[in-house]
Amino acid sequence: MDKSIRELFDLSGKVAIVTGGAQGIGKGIALRLAEAGASVAVSDINLESAQATVGEMKKMGYKAVAVQSDISKVAEAERTVQETVKHFGDLHILVNNAGVYPFASTETMTEATWDKTLNINLKGLMFFSQAAVRAMAAKGHGGKIVNIASVDGLHPTGNLLSYDASKGGVIMLTKALAKDLAPKGINVNAIAPGAIVTPGASGGLAGMSQEQIDAVTKAFLATIPMGRQGTPDDIGRVALFLASDAADYITGSVVVADGGYLVG
């Protein structure tokens, strides 16, 4: 063994970008990476929210900067990476977390919804990865890319057609990138979260009475063997593992973190 457990999970001197890092899963990931010693660029379309998260992180003694990014636009990828490298001097870790999940059935799907979902969830991931790889290669070292997929990329839950298609794409793109980038020393893996309690997920219950929300929650929890929904930190811990030296021999994999939902 050439490294201790403490050394394997030590990200001191590493620089990370977390897209959609201002809240929810992204924030949970940003906090864990920063706790492990990484300098973190919190990339989000909502600059005010990103700045608030960075403010919290700095109060904890962490190194972080807010970067406003619209990941549906290819040019934003290069700019975000350049701003991060300018601020922290390097880039070692990219977490492609930002995404949207609009509800729509086959009959109600619109071209605008389809295009927006694929542009953010899949195209954005591709070109942020491309920009990150260029930065890593320019510095002459490898790196880690962690993509946030979903259990919906493996098993559709219903009325999320564009989301399911995009997350299925994320899983296959993760494998394709892993094969392409392995010779460069860059590991690419994905996490497929199940039901995670986030502000965005709670928005899907808007308009329901508390009685309706309780009924929906009870019925959904019955499908999860562990009996609870996940937290952003549940995903943050997995992301930390995949971004660390402990995962050096893992690439092209999908880690399912769903409380047993898929096997339930």
Kindly list the structural domains of the chain, giving each domain's residue range(s) and its CATH number in brackets, ordered by start: 5-263 (3.40.50.720)
Which among 232, 209, 167, 189 is positioned nearest to 32, based on CA atoms? 232
pLDDT at 150: 97
For residues 202 and 33, the model is more confident at: 33
Backbone angles phi, psi at 193, to 5 degrees: -70, 150
Give catalytic residues, as residue numbers.
163
What is the rounded distance in angstroms from the CA atom of residue 96 to the CA atom of residue 161?
Answer: 20
**Span of 42-51, 55-64, 91-100, 217-226 with lowest mean pLDDT:** 217-226
Strand pairing class (64-68; 39-44): parallel
- Please check the confidence at residue 260 and state whether its pLDDT lies above 90: yes
Backbone angles phi, psi at 217, to 5 degrees: -65, -45
Share of the chain above pLDDT 70, in %: 95
pTM for this model (two decimals): 0.95
- Please check the confidence at residue 43 and state whether its pLDDT lies above 80: yes
- Please check the confidence at residue 131 and state whether its pLDDT lies above 70: yes
pLDDT digits (tens, 9 = 90+) for 6-41: 999 999 999 999 999 999 999 999 999 999 999 999
